[in-house]
Amino acid sequence: MASPNTEASGSSRLDVKPVATETVQASAPKDVAAPDKPRPARTRPQRPNYFLIHSKPLPLETHPLPAFVPQNPLSLLRIAYIYLSQLISAPSSHPDVPITGIFSSETRSVHITDQKSIRALWEMGFFGKGTLSRSEPSWLDREKARLKASKHGGGTAEENTRKRREERKLFKLERARLEAEQIEETLRKERAALEAKKEVKDEEKATEIAISHVFPWMQQESANAEFTEETQAVPAETAETKEPATNIVDVPILETGTTIHTTGIPPSTVPAETPLSTDVEAPITNQEHLQLNLEESFFLCYALGALTILDPSTSQPIPPPSLLTLFRRHSHFPTASPSSLRPDDPFLLNYIVYHHYRSLGWVVRPGVKFSCDFLLYNRGPVFSHAEFALLILPEYEEGSVEAEQGKGKMGWWWLHCVNRVQSQVKKSLVIVYVKVPKVLPVGEDIGEVLRSYEVREFVIRRWLANRSRD
């Protein structure tokens, strides 16, 4: 058995050794003469803090109660005080200046022109789309960057990409033209050589025939001489065929001082360029506005109460019941009459699904680019790509006329095509069945209308044999 002193000494050695090593490394003198390595220059601009910009999921102000700390009993009194003060005078969740939009029957959407409202709707929930942008309304920033880059002799990323593509296209066209000219020149030289060779052979044959008739004894000597010439000409012809053509295009040499006008306009008629003043910058008018689709507009107006939609003819707010009828009519093409509306209108089916996933915390965006109805984002398009693609199918009750006609049923070929598209873009396909009632409730209670629908969802993934092996 080892003695206690031995164990103590062993443990002390194990404990002291790393501490001593760290002390030596820390106390080691630094090489003062060694120059500091320069930091690499930042090539890309610093990305904005999206977590701070998009911290609010909806364009509403929330007033939560403070957290309860069990170790601090005074926190319970603070919670009770704030709760009672909010009961007495409840703070408003909506902004002081309401967000207003104008309904457009031509585009079947709602337009927002106020810049503060545009930023609020995009930063708080990713609602809408810029009319001059792919998604985020950033036309004004891109235009300022383009003008600033052109003033300093550069260009934006889009312009540089377009310029490189044009240069590459012109280079390929010029290369194809030079190759065609080279092939044509080679064929012309080969045809000329063959014709000259054929003429020489014809002359030699005519001479041989004449000599054979006059001097038959010289036929054998001429045959031997022809054999010797052919044997000597074989290496020369082989070398000629193997030698690459170095002259592609004959470029004419112009004399000094010669000017070529490519546009056909004499230089005297071309106006001189006026230098731009770099001191004064002309203000840029923002020509972009936000465009909300029908589902987003109705959700902001009815579910959140954060949007007021105006009638373009009267400039008066449209109440939600009238807005529901208006959107149902414009979901058909051409616009349907109020008497022809049915429970399976496209707007009702789309809005049921949109409202369902928005209430669950998903960011719902249009998915026409990926052959689906909607895309589901976990937090938003600036954080990650969409994870799910939604396809909406109506589900009718058994015995109804629509069910007997097979309305809403799609074939297997269609399903495989759509699923293949989603698997290529790395998204999971979700089939959303919306159970359609036979008759809608009568009245202006929109909540009762929405509660008459049911939503069922199925996630479909493409089966791959090499991923499912044991």
**In this structure, what DSSP letter does residue 419 have?**
H
H or E element in which residue 377 lies: strand 374-377
**Contacts with 104 (C-beta within 8 Å, 6 or more apart), sequence order:** 110, 111, 312
Whether 385 is catalytic is yes
Q: Which residue in 163, 385, 416, 438 is the catalytic one?
A: 385
- 186 Cβ contact list (under 8 Å, min separation 6): 245
Identify the CA nearest to 364 among candidates 303, 435, 288, 289: 303
- To the query of whether residue 377 is one of the catalytic residues in this protein, the response is yes
For residue 80, the surrounding DSSP H or E stretch is helix 74-88
Torsional class of 380: left (φ above 0), alpha (ψ -120 to 50), beta (otherwise): left
Q: For residue 121, how many C-alpha atoms fall within 13 Å in the half-sphere facing its CB?
A: 34
Q: Are strands 129-130 and 290-292 parallel, antiparallel or unpaired?
A: antiparallel
Select which of 289, 351, 427, 453 is catalytic: 427
- Name the active-site residue from 351, 354, 377, 453: 377
| Nearest in space to 120 (alpha carbons), one of 57, 51, 59 | 59
C-alpha to C-alpha distance for 115 and 241, rounded to whole angstroms: 72
Catalytic site positions: 377, 385, 427
